[in-house]
A and B are shown apart, each in its own frame.
Chain A
Amino acid sequence: MDARPALSIRRSGANQLSSMGISGPLSSSLPVLPTPLEETYPKLPDSQQVSMERELVTRPLTHVSHLSSDSGVVGHIFSSSSGFSSDLHYSSVSPHEKHSRNSPFISQSSTNGASLPFTHSSHSESLESTTSSHYLKENTASWHTDSLPSFLDFPVNTSIENGQVESSNCNGVLASEEFSKWADQLITDDDALTSNWNELLADSNVADLEPKMAYQVPKPSPNFPSHQSQVHLQLPAPSGEIHAVATPSSSAPAKPRMRWTPELHEAFVEAVNQLGGSERATPKGVLKLMKVEGLTIYHVKSHLQKYRTARYRPESAEGSSEKKLTPIEEMSSLDLKTGIEITEALRLQMEVQKRLHEQLEIQRNLQLRIEEQGRCLQMMFEKQCKSGIDKLKASAPSSDAVPDSPDKSELEDSQVDHGKTVTDPGSANTRMEERSPEQKAPEAKAPQNSEPDACESNSQPSKRPRKDE
């Protein structure tokens, strides 16, 4: 039976960990491992396994990069609260590699109470479930209901193949590539995460904890768009983009989404024409002719289908949103006079549409600018309170703590300190609120420039009382 060798490996792993100074519950719960797997899998972790939960949550992530053989299993790792066994296994299989990474986590967990790691795990799990669902789009339905045996199989598989799995990436090359890149990125970001978690663990103040955890949750998510943009860089198609939705599975093919641009489409049309028209061209032929990196046959296939529909059945194509007969069309059957009326009606429609588009553009720009300003304000408040706290600590106030004009590169640093609450932002906030209703939509850049200045001048008076202390 497969479970036996798995168990033996786990035990050795447990011994390793206990030698690192892990608390008792770990080894005592080991013999009952198979059953907790079944019991606790669908539920969130209970207090028993709490102390181990936290670090094993990141383990599965790194695991994933080495495993792409079974989507169900991968899904399992993510959602399983008893990835406990996988963690032990992981550490046992490649202790020399990741040992250094293991110890900080484990020693941390042993020193800290059960409370903090518990919520961390649920958060990190949400991380994984969020992100994994993001990526395992095809399998989101399946991974919750996937059977246990495959999970038990997993440790055995990796024990054998661990070193080789990376190279022996299976079908869906793009998918597994994406996946390992993604996991790699998460690994490289692990350092950042580690430091954050160290911060969090050291900080026993719960009030701070919540915002920080809330921050934690989306943090890896922003990695994904950037990961996607990484993908873009690596696959420089003629202004085409691939948005990775990796599905590491042996059965389902990879289906990253392609963003078609006019240039790419032109290349497509060229290829199709060379092959004798849309009816005669085959996806394979077009794909070959186009020679675009990262373009798969599925992209071409679906695009070709759309193209054919557009060419030969324009009514059904352009009316894809089930447009019904408008009054304009009802008039259309007749003579010249009606023709002019139709044209005029069309012109009217056009006018309204243009108007809407104008307004949309304005609104969009506004929203972008508002976000921009919001970010700058946030950053300045943080700088201010940071310097304010510094002032409180230091006896000699430094006069060069005045914030400069907003510098975007400092934004990341400031974001880390967001947990601190200061009263000053509140007052400056209301001042901003009073000012914003006065702004009307199509104003020039002037308000934007004056706002930061205004903020600076606002921060000055608030600093002075402190200085006088």
Chain B
Amino acid sequence: MKFGKRLKQQIQETLPGWRDKFLSYKELKKLVRLVSSAPMLLNGSLEYGKAEEQFVYLLNSEIEKFNAFFMEQEEDFVIWHKELQHRIKRVIDTWGPNGSQPSDADCKAEMAKIRKDIVDFHGEMVLLVNYSIVNYTGLAKILKKYDKRTGGLLRLPFIQKVLEQPFFTTDLISKLVKECESTIDAVFPAEEEQRTREVREATTVAEEGIFRNTVAALQTMQEIRRGSSTYGHFSLPPLNLPDSELIQSFQLNSPIPIV
């Protein structure tokens, strides 16, 4: 139940629009239990077949759900990516190559807006990649459970199929993320070390922003990979974050309860 709990946590802390797009891990676990408890008689069991059918059906519809959501988001990202570039170009055209001229308030405002948007855009893309990986991990785990409980061999072919699915092929998104990072380097002024430290101390992530979700995602990933009771050759090694103290220092206040 460890993964299930972590998944639940992550879902709770994720962006509101995404909450129902994650894997229905609990549902699937119920079905696995159903399948493993259904008697496997010599003349074939109605219940077993039905349960298995349900399980596979749910798996497939989940995958379809992931694909639909993922491609929808991807489309948005493609559009925004282009849009941001367009906006930056516009600023440069209007106010010259150095966007941070103190004389022009509009320019500054626009640049500030662009910077914020880029960072949020970057964050959202990363969260989508996280979404993809979390769901994949969930699928892998549930399939492993299924095979273990029922002695079936559903896992291998299914995972092969999953690997080809759009929601798992996140190459485009990663590419956009990298492009974003390089754009940001160009758009942000030079870093000042002292200020960074001050801000760092002061930051508490209070609301349901992208930043908060990112931190949550990192923490969750760390915890998921902390150590497994059922360690097999399909398990991931523990996560060693170089800056784990930094991450831990972000205080995540309890989210505003959604009625």
Contacts and interface: CB of A to CB of B under 8 A. Distances in A.
A341 B196 CA distance: 8
Nearest to B159: A371
B161 A214 contact: no
A347 B191 contact: yes
B71 A373 contact: no
B92 interface: no
A206 B207 CA distance: 57
B233 A370 contact: yes
Measured as residues with beta carbon below 8 angstroms from the partner, the interface class of chain A is 35 or more
Interface in B179-216: 181, 184, 188-189, 191-192, 195-196, 198-200, 203-211, 214-215
Nearest to B208: A324
A431 to B, nearest CB: 10
Given A119-B49, A321-B16, A439-B237, A306 B76 contact: yes
Contact of A361 (B76, B165, B174): B174
A126 B52 contact: yes
Interface in B203-240: 203-211, 214-215, 217-218, 221, 225, 231-237, 239-240
Nearest to B247: A352
Pick the most buried of A258, A328, A347: most chain B CB atoms within 10 A of its CB. A347
22 contacts: A44-B50, A119-B48, A122-B46, A122-B49, A130-B56, A211-B152, A214-B52, A214-B152, A218-B56, A243-B166, A260-B74, A262-B172, A306-B79, A321-B18, A329-B116, A343-B188, A343-B189, A344-B192, A349-B214, A355-B241, A357-B177, A361-B129
The 8 closest A-B pairs by CB, nearest first: A126-B53, A119-B44, A214-B152, A122-B49, A115-B43, A321-B15, A326-B209, A432-B233
Interface stretch (A85-93, A170-178, A374-382): A374-382
A243 B67 contact: yes
A329 B112 CA distance: 10
Contacts of B196: 344, 347-348
Pick the most buried of A266, A324, A344, A374: most chain B CB atoms within 10 A of its CB. A344
Contacts of A378: 156
A306 B76 CA distance: 7
B184 to A, nearest CB: 6
Interface stretch (B3-11, B26-34, B132-140): B132-140
Contacts of B80: 310, 317-318
A432 B231 CA distance: 10
Contacts of A360: 126, 129-130, 133, 221
Interface in B50-106: 50, 52-54, 56-57, 60-61, 64, 67-68, 71, 74-76, 78-83, 102
